[in-house]
């Protein structure tokens, strides 16, 4: 019989702990606090598999409904696991309702606008620097 010895690398543990994603929260018009998880590439690919290839080609559904619903980790004190099927995504959409989806989509739009402004400032700065040279 073969003997296997496993050694834990302490540096790996530190890196893993430092890479924990920050949770973001939004409050909808009903006063519910919705905690959002940041989806990593594996989770995003799992959503594509869960909805199926044909539905995944519908960018409006994916970006406007499926991915925001998958991002929900908690509503107030109720924890929700990662969805593995269209039925679970639909269930989350029903729980969120228009109020929850509006809060999440508004939050995502605000993040996009902030990033867009930062990129525009960087482009403007680079253009000014290029004009000086």
Averaged over successive runs of 10 residues, the pLDDT of the chain (133 residues) comes to 62 56 88 95 93 90 94 95 94 96 93 88 82 74
How high is the pLDDT of residue 49?
93
Q: Where are the domains of the chain?
A: 19-132
Q: How far apart are CA 38 and CA 20, in angstroms?
A: 10
How high is the pLDDT of residue 111?
87
- Strands (E) across the chain are located at 24-27, 33-36, 72-75, 78-79
Q: How far apart are CA 96 and CA 90, in angstroms?
A: 10
Whether this model's pTM surpasses 0.75: no
């Amino acid at each position: 019989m073969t003997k296997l010895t496993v050694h834990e690398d302490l540096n790996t543990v530190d890196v893993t702990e430092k890479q924990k994603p920050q949770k973001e929260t939004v409050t909808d018009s009903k006063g519910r606090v919705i905690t959002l998880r940041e989806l990593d590439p594996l989770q995003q690919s799992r959503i594509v598999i869960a909805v199926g290839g044909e539905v995944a080609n519908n960018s409006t559904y994916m970006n406007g409904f499926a991915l925001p619903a998958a991002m929900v980790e908690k509503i107030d004190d109720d924890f929700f696991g990662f969805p593995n099927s269209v039925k679970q995504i639909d269930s989350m959409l029903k729980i969120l309702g228009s109020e929850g989806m509006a809060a999440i989509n508004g939050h995502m739009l605000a993040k996009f606008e902030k990033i867009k402004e930062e990129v525009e400032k960087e482009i403007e700065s680079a253009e000014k620097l290029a004009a000086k040279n």
